[in-house]
Amino acid sequence: MSFFDNLKDKVSKGGAAVGSGAKYAVEMAKLNAQISGKKKVINDTFNKIGEKYFESVADNAPEEFKELVETVIESRKEIERLNDEIKKLKGVAVCPFCNSEIESESRFCSVCGKELPVADSEGDFVD
Ligand SMILES: [Zn+2]
């Protein structure tokens, strides 16, 4: 057996011995958990960088970011619309004078006391 064949033989046997057993499994799980933790830190940090960048360029994003910025703006609008739908489902309206959430059937705002305009069947105030 040549020196290199001998070496290859030792390395492959060594690899097989290291890559097995309960201790190996525990160490492997620990290391993988640490890697997952660090990946989460990176992802959270990327999110923060993205949010800060978004807030700083939202109105005037460079061309390469325009589509991404637009996606965030559109998604935020959609969330607002969906939250309005939830309010309607819950029978909640928003007082046009003080912005408090109130029952959509009320004639007067329970917070500021002002007389409310008439609300339609969906809880939106009509003029
Ligand atoms: Zn009010």
The pLDDT tens digits for 45-102 are: 999 999 999 999 978 899 999 999 999 999 999 999 999 899 888 888 889 999 998 8
Whole-number Å distance, alpha carbon 111 to ligand 1 midpoint, is 5
Whole-number Å distance, alpha carbon 94 to ligand 1 midpoint, is 8
- DSSP letter at 90 equals T
- Assess whether 30 and 13 both reside in one domain: yes
Whole-number Å distance, alpha carbon 2 to ligand 1 midpoint, is 91
Whole-number Å distance, alpha carbon 102 to ligand 1 midpoint, is 8
Q: Which residues of 22-32 are buried (b: 16+ CB within 10 A; e: fewer)?
A: eeeeeeeeeee
Whole-number Å distance, alpha carbon 126 to ligand 1 midpoint, is 16
Query: Comparing 59 with 16, which gets the higher pLDDT?
Result: 59
Sign of the dihedral through C-alpha 105, 106, 111, 114: positive
Q: Does position 4 have pLDDT exceeding 70, yes or no? A: no
- Assess whether 109 and 59 both reside in one domain: no
Residue 108's φ and ψ, nearest 5 degrees, are -125, 150
Q: Is residue 39 very low, low, confident or very high in pLDDT (cuts 50, 70, 90)?
A: very high
What kind and span of H or E run contains 76? helix 63-89
Range of the domain at 25: 3-91
Total of domains in the chain? 2
- Assess whether 58 and 111 both reside in one domain: no
Whole-number Å distance, alpha carbon 101 to ligand 1 midpoint, is 8
Distance (Å, whole) CA 40 – CA 115: 51
Q: Is residue 40 very low, low, confident or very high in pLDDT (cuts 50, 70, 90)?
A: very high
